[in-house]
Amino acid sequence: MLGRVAKGVKCNVSGCGKEAKRSLSADKVRLAGLSVGSGEKRAYLCESHYKEFKKRTKKDRKIEQWRYKGV
Ligand SMILES: [Zn+2]
C-alpha cells in the first residue's frame, strides 16, 4: 500500500535519520524543497519531515492557484 513504511527504515532527508513514517515519490519531495539522496526513486520521511512536506506542497498549490487567477 502506498505510504506504508517497514519498521527500521530511516528518513532519508539529508541530515535527519529519524525513523521513517511515510514513503513518497522522491521527485515530489524534491519539488517541495526537501533534499533526499540523489538517484532515489522513493523518499522516506519521518513524521516531522512529512509535516513539512505537506506544509510546503500546500503553499505551492496556493501559489499556483493565484497564478492561474492572475492571468
Ligand atoms: Zn526526517
- Ligand 1: centre distance to CA 69 (Å): 35
Instruction: Measure 38 CA to ligand 1 centroid, in angstroms.
Output: 16
Report helix, strand and coil shares of the chain as percent, to nearest 5. Answer: 40, 15, 40
- Say whether pLDDT at 1 is over 50: no
Distance 20 CA to ligand 1 centre (A): 7
Cα 49 to averaged position of ligand 1 atoms, centre (Å): 5
Distance of alpha carbon 7 from alpha carbon 28, whole angstroms: 23
pTM more than 0.85: no
> Considering only CA atoms, which of 70, 65, 30 is closest in space to residue 12?
30
The pLDDT tens digits for 11-69 are 999 999 899 999 999 999 999 999 997 788 899 999 999 999 999 988 666 666 666 66
* Number of structural domains found in the chain: 1
Cα R_g (the chain), whole angstroms: 13
Using the mean position of ligand 1's atoms as its centre, give its distance from the Cα of residue 24 in Å.
Answer: 13
Q: Which residues pair with 19 in a beta bridge?
A: 10
Which residue range(s) make up the domain with 66?
1-71
